[in-house]
Amino acid sequence: MKRRAAGSHRMVHAWCHHLEMGNASDAASLFASSISKEQDILMGSVYSLFCILSLIGNCLLLLVAFHKRSTLKPAEFFIINLSISDLGMTLSLFPLAIPSAFSHRWLFGEITCQLYAMCGVLFGLCSLTNLTALSLVCCLKVCFPTYGNKFSPSHSRLLVAGVWCYSSVFAVGPLAQWGHYSAEPYGTACCIDWHAPNQELSALTYIVCLFVFCYALPCTIIFLSYSFILLTVRGSRQAVQQHVSPQTKTTNAHALIVKLSIAVCIGFLGAWTPYAAVAMWAAFGDATTVPPVAFALAAVLAKSSTIYNPMVYLLCKPNFRECLCRDTSTLRQMMHRGSPQPQERFSFTPQRNKDTSASTRFSNGQQDSYGACLNCTENAALQNTACVLTGSSYTEVTVSQLSAKPGTDFI
């Protein structure tokens, strides 16, 4: 009896050892790269470049926003939130994806894989939902100014919080067994398990809801919002051409923000659409026919979305660009002289802003802070002269001589 019991114990131990070895083998094969070593090295190199550009661009954009934090317009909160989500994606994904790509396999285990996938979904959905909210705010401001003028920074903050909550629902879902996270088909990163809908109903409902509420619906809202904006701006231009009025600057300001927002949306959607198409192919078609290299290429394009927002706004938005140039000039002068210059004209510390900010007083007695607002174009359209107070100098000039910079600030 003792011999039979000992034999049974050895058989159970061997079977458990076999199961453990099988699970380890499955995990090893799951996290092994299914594309060539050369393709992994190329992907790791591209990720490294994206990481550097995203860190520099988004940090600079947040720095500029910090310097002008007291003068931020409601729509600019969404630009800042977009940079935060892009920076979150950069810091949470690239440090894991780059060494895994160079090592030709996922290096960080199952739990980290789940967290990596959750961060990718959270920050990706946050960026898309944020762009949707930005398009709605722009549409409200341009097409329905009666209601848009009531939209305040506090409304923007509330809407930004709603964006994060909305994205979190779909990001946490797979951790609560609504859908699944798993390794990407190419093996060196993790995301939603696109093969699961072929086996489980809950995974199928998650993918359907994700596609409808986090891709199709936002894209439709963005398209309709900017279509209404373009039609409104076009009608305004035709009306303004019949009158000689400085209000053209306001029209140009609306046109500028529309162009910049459309550029960011096109860049983001262009980056994520290939991945969405490949994912839907795997989820609702024959997953075995999807080549792993197609997922790898789509993932590279998707991660490039982190560099579009700072590139567009820092290079193309005049007041952001000028603020960055002035910061750079001030830093260069400080480094050249070896010490900070307290009388430097272009400084953005809060105290110096308070002391040296320019103000504009119109001839009807209305006063507007030029350094703090930069949107006095509509008031200027009603006046012929203005008195400009800068520092200790006080000068009367015609409105036409005022800088065109007020027209470049938006909403």
Asked if 303 and 253 count as a contact pair (C-beta separation under 8 A), the reply is no
Q: Which residue has the higher pLDDT, 153 or 252?
A: 153
With a pLDDT cut of 90, the percent of the chain lying above it is 35
Residue 89 has pLDDT above 70, yes or no: yes
Residue 404 has pLDDT above 90, yes or no: no
pLDDT bucket at 170, cuts 50 / 70 / 90: very high
Residue 371 has pLDDT above 70, yes or no: no
Q: Report the first-to-last Cα separation within the chain, whole angstroms.
A: 87
**pLDDT single digits (tens) 183-228:** 998 989 999 998 877 778 888 899 999 999 999 999 999 999 988 8
Note the pTM of the prediction, 2 decimals: 0.72
**pLDDT single digits (tens) 92-148:** 999 999 999 999 999 999 999 999 999 999 999 999 999 999 889 888 888 888 888
Weakest-pLDDT range from 75-79, 182-186, 207-211, 313-317: 313-317
Residues 262, 267: Cα–Cα separation, whole Å: 8
CA atoms within 13 A on the CB side of 209: 15
Pair of tokens at residue 130: 């944020």
Residue 385: φ, ψ to 5°:
-130, 160
Asked if 270 and 238 count as a contact pair (C-beta separation under 8 A), the reply is no
Residue type (1 letter), 330: T
How high is the mean pLDDT of the chain? 75
pLDDT of residue 29: 65
Residues 301, 109: Cα–Cα separation, whole Å: 25
pLDDT of residue 252: 59
Residue range 21-30: average pLDDT?
Answer: 52
Residue range 314-332: average pLDDT?
Answer: 71
> With the C-alpha atoms ordered 52, 35, 104, 89, is the resulting torsion angle positive or negative?
positive
pLDDT of residue 104: 92
Q: Which residue has the higher pLDDT, 315 or 56?
A: 56
Residues 109, 28: Cα–Cα separation, whole Å: 10
192 forms bridges with which residues in the sheet? 181
**pLDDT single digits (tens) 270-284:** 889 999 999 888 888
Residue range 242-255: average pLDDT?
Answer: 53
Q: Please calculate the CA angle 150-152-156 and round it to the nearest 5 degrees.
A: 125
pLDDT of residue 234: 76
Sheet (strand 393-398) strand order:
367-368, 359-362, 385-390, 393-398
pLDDT bucket at 44, cuts 50 / 70 / 90: very high
pLDDT of residue 241: 56
Which segment, 195-209, 340-354, 380-394, is predicted with the most confidence on average? 195-209
CA dihedral 228, 229, 230, 234 (to 10 degrees): 100
Map 156-217 to HEC letters.
Answer: HHHHHHHHHHHHHHHHHHHHHCCCCEEECCCCCCEEECCCHHHCCHHHHHHHHHHHHHHHHH
With a pLDDT cut of 70, the percent of the chain lying above it is 67
H/E stretch holding 399: none
Tell me how far CA of residue 227 lies from CA of 103, 127, 406, in angstroms.
Answer: 46, 21, 26
CA atoms within 13 A on the CB side of 128: 28
CATH for 26-323 is 1.20.1070.10
Q: Which residue has the higher pLDDT, 394 or 149?
A: 149
Weakest-pLDDT range from 31-40, 202-211, 358-367, 387-396: 358-367
Residue 70: φ, ψ to 5°:
-75, -10
pLDDT bucket at 388, cuts 50 / 70 / 90: very low
User: In 199-307, which residue ranges form alpha helices assigned H by DSSP?
Assistant: 201-211, 217-240, 248-284, 292-303
Q: Which residue has the higher pLDDT, 320 or 339?
A: 320
Tell me how far CA of residue 343 lies from CA of 234, 329, 336, 346, 348, in angstroms.
Answer: 45, 14, 15, 9, 12
Burial class from Cβ neighbours inside 10 Å (0-12, 13-18, 19+) for residue 380 reads buried
